[in-house]
Amino acid sequence: MSSKKKGGKPVITAGELRDRAPDERPAAQLSERELYAGKIVTLYRDTVRFPDGSTAEFDIARHPGASAVIPFLNDPAGDEPQILLLRQYRYAAGGYLYEIPAGRLDEGESPESCAARELKEETGCTAAQIEPLTSILTTPGFTNEVIHLFMATGLTHGEPSHEADEFVEIVIIRLSEALELIRSGEITDSKTALALMFVAGFKTGD
């Protein structure tokens, strides 16, 4: 099938996309200017040239990246997998959210090491095995933040070490119940919802 036009915009097939060069780049950065450096992100204003030669400015929040991990209390492929969730107060969201343990990468830290560290800090648990799931872009319209998703099994329990501004409860819940919380709209955190659906759809049935 050849490319067609729909609504004045080119339409191509998935096969045509696969045939394109893997190093295709849609735009080139001409310059960057730091606007603000905060505790979590640094805000830049980039000047970008597009493939048609036009230029534009974008405000980009650059982030070091993060890891998030689903802690399984029993066999993920069993009849009733159980996981740990955090019920955590988030000021920006205006209340409490259900989340999986997560946090920013320290300088030079690998995503897997970050996942293990955040699991220990937020739940007190260490894992015999930490397995990568996938990596996601959180809000690609204005930030380059990538969150690397993992699942943890073979947990050994210990004491969490929450920071002073962290208000967290640890919740034991069946995976099936967590999926229902996504369906009902009670789990709205994107990394958590995607990670839970990923393990339910691709991993626990392997």
Neighbours of 72 (CB within 10 A): 25
Sign, Cα dihedral of 186, 190, 196, 197: positive
Indicate which residues carry an active-site annotation. Answer: 166
Q: Band of the pLDDT at 2, cuts 50, 70, 90?
A: very low
CATH superfamily label, 66-203: Nucleoside Triphosphate Pyrophosphohydrolase (3.90.79.10)
Q: What are the residue ranges of CATH 3.90.79.10 in the chain?
A: 66-203
Tell me the C-alpha distance between 71 and 158, whole Å. 13
- Would strands 66-71 and 146-156 be described as parallel, antiparallel, or unpaired? parallel
- pLDDT-based confidence at 161, cuts 50/70/90? confident
Using CB atoms within 10 A of its CB, is residue 118 exposed (0-12), middle (13-18) or buried (19+)? Answer: buried
User: Are the C-beta atoms of residues 85 and 71 closer than 8 Å to each other?
Assistant: no
- The single residue listed with the structure tokens 């991993």 is 203
pLDDT tens digits, residue range 175-192?
999 999 999 999 999 999
CA–CA dist 175, 70 (Å, integer): 10
29-82 pLDDT, tens digit per residue, is 899 999 999 888 899 999 999 878 899 999 999 999 999 999 999 999 888 999
With a cut of 80, say whether residue 1 has pLDDT above it.
no
